[in-house]
Structure 1
Amino acid sequence: MKRKRGWWTIGLGVGLIVLSGCMGWFDSTTTTTNVPISTTQPTTNAPTTATQGELNIWLNPGVDTVEINSVFVDSGADATFNSIPVAAIKIESTLDMTKTGIYQIVYRAEAYGQKCDIVRYVTVIDETPPLASLNPGIDTIVEGSVWVDTGIHVLDNSLGDVIVTTEGYVSCAVPGEYMIKYLSSDESGNVTETYRYITVLPVE
């Protein structure tokens, strides 16, 4: 597996398959691994304000559900003491944009011996399917010759493993139109379908 431009390029193994008397090459990949969840703290009805005596702190509105390996913009928190603005600083963060899960960012305000914390929950998701494209190949052949499946090139924003499976067959002994379907599935179950069309011409 090679890394390229912030994405993973799947290193496809090459194997030989015989399909109805026609030799073709197919590509295969490795299996996936489980993605850990950093925290299981619930986000339902999580408070957006907190109060301690005359000290009040609240979360600024923001986008707290983001795609894996994207950019999270922390909108922070604000606070007042007896209606006078005071600083609210980030004191802790478990956020990891490289793994799906629910993470915490903790903000604190302090004034006149009082302090008050509030937590922002950030959910990192992976709902983007892999990007797949056909590798160049010769897909129009003459009956009785050999067709070589050059496979596909796959990129995924998770930078994790992608499983590629194929469906379909090509008979080099029988003229006609054939289709090979490639299914690219990432660790989160997002799937992309890619199609290759092969033409076997009769001998003239």
Structure 2
Amino acid sequence: MSRRCRIIVYSILIGIAAGVLALVIKLLFFSGLFVPTLELIGAEHIEINMNETYQDPGAQSTYRFMDNRAHIIVENQVDTQKLGTYQVIYRLDNADKKVIRQVTVSDTKAPDLRLKGEEEMTLFIGEDFTDPGYQAYDNCDGDISDQVKSTSTIDFNNSGTYEVRYEVKDSHGNVARARRVIRLLEDPLNTKLAYDHDMFDNTMFEWWFNKSQDHQRTTAAKSEDWLAAYSAYYQGPDEKVIYLTFDEGGNDITYIKEIADVLNENDVKATFFLTRNYIRNESAFVRELVDAGHVIGNHTWNHYDMTTLANAESIDAFVEELTQEEKTYLEVIGEPMPKLFRFPRGATSERALKLVHDLGYQTFFWSHAYYDYGSDVSKQEALDTLLDHYHNGAIYLLHPSNKGNFEAMSDFIAEMKRLGYRFDTLDHLK
């Protein structure tokens, strides 16, 4: 290679080396080796609502590849109690360098509007409505409860579902809304029954039946035809169907919740005849029963012998035994009670049946029961009697007060299903 060519090559190499060196020096310079860096963490512009706490994201700095944040001086001008745009300035005490963040304090937040009391209420026609009230608080204006406006769609003369709507606006135009649902219902206690029933015999008889033999349909205290005149039944149609019913008035010992779990696990629906006080005292459980598809029947308020009230002097008390329970059911469930009735202890009369019929109810006795009040009934004893006397359309009367019924229930259901039977609720028996 000639001397001239070598000079040209060397010149090119020297130029490349100089360029690389300049780039390295530049990178080192801007990486903080010679001059500290300073940059914001997070956005250059932040917006917050008035009276909210401002959490500053901060800034970062490096110098000679080391953390240089200790040399950052922060000038925070943000006043969250006043609307406006403020600056947060970050400076270095070891370099003439600064960065700025803009912080806007505004009010875009709606007031906090909260209802006192229940958001869904049940009222009866004739009752006074007292609004439980409300509370409104705004991040800028403070307590503005006195500025809440309410409007109502309630027609107090007609049953239905209505709303009370609430609205409040703060000084910067932010609006909050809420609503309360009001279910206005006919009051069952307004039910009156004109008494002209003296022509019906009021001789009390307690329900009895002949136990099924060889799984044949059975006979009982009154014939099906006699009962039909009063919309009363003791067995269902001659089909492979079983009706499980449970009477509960609030025993000290009860396995009703365990029985309900077994029914639900086996996808079996049953009918529960409950007293008014039980519905009131166990309202959450009663709602669970209804939600699961079980049916609640009327078993009276006080579990009286209803024949003692089946006369002109006591007719209002007779009616109230049913309507007090209806009203409690409405309050708990929010819808009318099914018109299914069972006399306490099965004690009735023709007159009492007629009175219940005139109140719009169907009455249900039973075609199989056994002495299951005692807590000492074993699983095997319960299972044996349940299986020995099943028949088409059987209505079983059972009490949850003994553990045997609970322990036998799953096996009984499985065997009935194996034999081709289905289970149903009494509201489907017409």
TM-score, structure 2 normalization? 0.29
Percent identical residues: 28
What residue number does 2:168 align with?
184
- Whole-Å separation in 2 of the counterparts to 1:101 and 1:160: 19
- Whole-Å separation in 2 of the counterparts to 1:79 and 1:196: 55
- Whole-Å separation in 2 of the counterparts to 1:178 and 1:76: 53
Correspondence 1:147 to 2:92: no
Give secondary structure in 2 for the equivalent of 1:62: coil
1:161 deviates by: 4.9
Whether the 8 Å contact between 1:160 and 1:187 is mirrored in structure 2 is: no
- Whole-Å separation in 1 of the counterparts to 2:136 and 2:92: 47
What residue number does 1:109 align with?
92
**Letter of the structure 2 residue corresponding to residue 141 of structure 1:** L
Superposed CA offset, 1:29-77 (max 9, x none): xxxxxxxxxxxxxxxxxxxxxxxxx977644222523343333332334
Whether the 8 Å contact between 2:76 and 2:88 is mirrored in structure 1 is: yes
Whether the 8 Å contact between 1:132 and 1:154 is mirrored in structure 2 is: yes
Structure 1, unaligned runs of 5 or more: 1-53
Task: Using the TM superposition, name which of 93-102 and 70-79 deviates more.
Answer: 70-79
Give secondary structure in 1 for the equivalent of 2:56: coil
Check 1:110–1:136 CA distance in 2 against 1; reply closer, same or farther (3 A cut): closer
What residue number does 1:71 align with?
53
- Whole-Å separation in 1 of the counterparts to 2:183 and 2:99: 63
What residue number does 1:131 align with?
112
Whether the 8 Å contact between 2:73 and 2:93 is mirrored in structure 1 is: no
RMSD, aligned α-carbons:
3.5
What residue number does 1:197 align with?
181
Structure holding more strand per residue: 1
Structure holding more helix per residue: 2
- Whole-Å separation in 1 of the counterparts to 2:150 and 2:55: 39
What residue number does 1:5 align with?
none
Relative contact order (alpha carbons < 8 A, sep ≥ 6): 1 or 2 greater?
Answer: 1
1:196 deviates by: 0.9
Give secondary structure in 2 for the equivalent of 1:187: coil
Check 1:189–1:55 CA distance in 2 against 1; reply closer, same or farther (3 A cut): farther
Give secondary structure in 2 for the equivalent of 1:192: strand
Q: Rg larger in 1 or in 2?
A: 2
- Whole-Å separation in 2 of the counterparts to 1:141 and 1:82: 76
Matches within 5 A, 1:27-176: 58-63=38-43, 64-78=46-60, 87-90=71-74, 92-111=75-94, 115-136=96-117, 139-158=121-140, 160-162=142-144, 163-176=147-160
**Letter of the structure 2 residue corresponding to residue 106 of structure 1:** I
What residue number does 1:39 align with?
none
